[in-house]
Amino acid sequence: MTTNGSLITLEGITKVFFTDEVETHALSGIHLEIRKGEYVSIAGPSGCGKSTLLSILGLLDTPTEGLYRLNNHDVSKLGHADRARIRNREVGFIFQSFNLIGDLTVFENVELPLTYRRLPAGERKQRANEALEKVGMSHRVNHYPSQLSGGQQQRVAVARALAGKPSILLADEPTGNLDSKNGEAVMDLLRDLHREGATICMVTHDPRFARHADRQVHLFDGRVVEEMVEEAAAVKP
């Protein structure tokens, strides 16, 4: 299934949760490929397995069965430490709830993940400032999250993800806590990042936002039931 330009390949991914002798099959035989520079949305009803799939893609969890290759490396069964190391370098997360640290400034929130890589202070500063400039938040570097609107907080969260220069951006309902105006602004930002070459995989329940992607993958009961290519994605205004 792996082809030239493939960043992520999933083959037969299954995830089973065991609780009180009950088996819950969250994912059943998922096959998916995401190519470098692609923008993919994962959609489906609540409980269909979207978040579980994103957790596996982001190396926050491991599959019960199946193969996951990231940048041509099998990461299916890695231990916690190895997953954390690769996740910090390869994956940028954008969460619905922003997940900013309240007692850190905007700059410090963006810089923090870079400290785990033990990057020199000068490089951390440059990366953080470049990322904040890209999302239009460089004028807020000394503000705290409580001093920002929801839309501004999500832009800072995007900058934090970008600063690590990840192979892929994983966005989990990035507009879920925003009003329609700020939601559209964040989607426009993701579209611009994609046009600049970013690879994006976004989970969303909103069909309006799913259509921003090049390709829509629809899940139902833990299985891929439909894939749609958005013909107009490359020419959207």
Are 157 and 171 contacting, i.e. CB atoms less than 8 angstroms apart? no
pLDDT at 233 over 50: no
Q: Is residue 25 part of a domain?
A: no
Q: Is residue 172 part of a domain?
A: yes
Taking the C-alpha atoms of residue 176 and residue 146, their distance in angstroms, rounded to an integer, is 18
Average pLDDT over residues 72-76: 94
Q: Is residue 19 part of a domain?
A: no
Average pLDDT over residues 71-81: 93
What band does 171 get if pLDDT is binned at 50, 70 and 90? very high
How many domains would you assign to the chain? 1
Q: Which two tokens stand for residue 94?
A: 């954008």
Average pLDDT over residues 117-137: 94
In this prediction, residue 234 carries a pLDDT of 42
What band does 229 get if pLDDT is binned at 50, 70 and 90? confident
pLDDT at 1 over 60: no
Are 164 and 92 contacting, i.e. CB atoms less than 8 angstroms apart? yes
pLDDT at 43 over 80: yes
Q: Indicate if the alpha-carbon torsion angle 170, 175, 113, 156 is positive or negative.
A: positive
- Whole-number mean pLDDT of the chain? 91
Q: Is residue 165 part of a domain?
A: yes
Q: Is residue 121 part of a domain?
A: yes
CATH number, domain containing residue 55: 3.40.50.300
In this prediction, residue 235 carries a pLDDT of 39
- Long-range residue pairs from 20-28, CB within 8 A, at least 24 positions apart, any chain: 25/222, 26/52, 26/222, 27/52, 27/53, 27/56, 27/63, 27/222, 27/223, 28/221, 28/222, 28/223
Residue matched to tokens 């800072």: 156
Average pLDDT over residues 58-87: 94
Q: 208 or 161: which carries more pLDDT confidence?
A: 161
Residue matched to tokens 């041509």: 72
What length is written for the chain? 237
Which residues form the domain of 132? Answer: 38-62+85-235
Based on the number of CB atoms within 10 Å of its own CB, is 39 exposed (0-12), middle (13-18) or buried (19 or more)? buried
pLDDT at 4 over 80: no
Q: Is residue 13 part of a domain?
A: no
pLDDT at 236 over 50: no
In this prediction, residue 46 carries a pLDDT of 86
Q: Reduced to 3 DSSP states, what percent helix, strand and coil does the chain have, rounded to the nearest 5?
A: 35, 30, 35
Q: Is residue 12 part of a domain?
A: no
Q: Is residue 193 part of a domain?
A: yes
